[in-house]
Amino acid sequence: MSLLSIERAKQRLKRSDNPLLKGLLVCLKALRFGDLPLPKRPYQGLFLTHQLVINSLGYLARVLYWSPLFKSQINHCGKQLYLYGGMPYLAGPLAITLGDRCRVSGHTTITGRGCNPSVATLKIGDNVDIGWMTTIAVGNKIIIGDNVRIAGGAFLAGYPGHPMDAAARAKGLPERDDQVADIVLEDDVWLATGVSVMAGVTIGKGSIIAASSVVTKDIPEGVLAAGIPAKVIRIINS
């Protein structure tokens, strides 16, 4: 039976006024969407079993595989690292130090600038959260202080990856050295979802950057900043 014949049969079934065919259409839709009258209570127990198995396997993978694999690529790793969801993607020459009690998403990308004269350095303090799908591109150095919170989808752009000149980009040449600079997130900084921090920026202690903001210049301590480019909105009262 051709696809055209099947489609014509479906259309006839939908337009039919025959009670039997209407009932058949209802049954076929129920099968298609999985809307079957199955008892709820057995599946409640099955769900708990499913969760127990998945969490147990995830724990074993994290403790016996992903965490040791990640630690093998770090110059120094503090105590109580919580790595969840796999292992971050690492690329380029990098020297990484990680403090105590850090939580890092396995869906994080951390890269070091390949054409640096020296190895790029990423220093992460104690009690730091790095969320899902965050990218940390280390040009020369990125410093993340203690108690920093980085939500999902953030981007620390220590280097752009391409030169400004179109002809140089077409040749596959790297960015110029003057496009590369350090990034510093001082203690207690919070980057909300989707924040981008450009090269050369320092964000002061305790400041919060609102979601989807792009930080192109230094932000003082203890303020809320937002926008593209990010500007100080107000002072945060303790």
Q: Give the model's pLDDT for residue 133.
A: 95
Average pLDDT rounded to a whole number, residues 35-43: 81
Read off the pLDDT band of 9 (50, 70, 90).
Answer: confident
Residue 162 annotated to the active site: yes
Read off the pLDDT band of 33 (50, 70, 90).
Answer: confident
Whether residue 68 lies inside any domain: the answer is no
Whether residue 7 lies inside any domain: the answer is yes
Residues 14 and 122 in one domain: no
Residues 85 and 170 in one domain: yes
The pLDDT of residue 179 is above 90: yes
Kindly report the average pLDDT of the chain as a whole number: 92
Residues 20 and 81 in one domain: no
The pLDDT of residue 215 is above 70: yes
| Active-site residue, from 50, 76, 107, 162 | 162
Residues 22 and 107 in one domain: no
- Judge whether 101 and 122 are in contact, CB under 8 Å: no
Whether residue 48 lies inside any domain: the answer is no
Domain extent for 189: 76-235
Domain count for the chain: 2
Whether residue 23 lies inside any domain: the answer is yes
* Structure-token match 């503090």, residue found: 78
Q: Give the model's pLDDT for residue 25.
A: 77
Residues 86 and 25 in one domain: no
Provide, rounded to the nearest whole percent, the portion of the chain with pLDDT above 90: 75
DSSP line for the chain: --HHHHHHHHHHHHH---HHHHHHHHHHHHHHHT-----HHHHHHHHHHHHHHHHHHHHHHIIIIIHHHHHTT-SEE-SS-EEESS--EEESSEEEEE-SS-EEETT-EEEE-TT-SS-EEEEE-SS-EE-TT-EEEESSEEEE-TT-EE-TT-EEES--SS-SSHHHHHTTPPPPGGG---EEE-TT-EE-TT-EEETT-EE-TT-EE-TT-EE-S-B-TTEEEETTTTEEEEEPP-
- Closest by CA to 156, choosing from 174, 177, 130, is 130
The pLDDT of residue 35 is above 70: no
Tens-place pLDDT, residues 110-157: 999 988 888 999 999 999 999 999 999 999 999 999 999 999 999 999
Residues 103 and 213 in one domain: yes
CATH number of the domain residue 209 falls in: 2.160.10.10
Whether residue 63 lies inside any domain: the answer is no
Whether residue 45 lies inside any domain: the answer is no
The pLDDT of residue 77 is above 70: yes
Backbone φ and ψ of 161, nearest 5° = 95, -15
Residues 110 and 19 in one domain: no
Burial class (CB in 10 A: 0-12, 13-18, 19+), 101: middle
Q: Give the model's pLDDT for residue 106.
A: 95
Whether residue 116 lies inside any domain: the answer is yes
The pLDDT of residue 210 is above 90: yes
Lowest mean pLDDT among 13-22, 76-85, 134-143, 150-159: 13-22
**pLDDT higher at 145 or 161:** 145
Q: What is the pTM of this model?
A: 0.84
Whether residue 67 lies inside any domain: the answer is no
For residue 158, how many C-alpha atoms fall within 13 Å in the half-sphere facing its CB? 24
Q: Give the model's pLDDT for residue 238.
A: 64
Residues 82 and 21 in one domain: no
The pLDDT of residue 222 is above 70: yes
Provide, rounded to the nearest whole percent, the portion of the chain with pLDDT above 70: 98
Q: Give the model's pLDDT for residue 146.
A: 98
Lowest mean pLDDT among 25-29, 33-37, 39-43, 188-192: 33-37
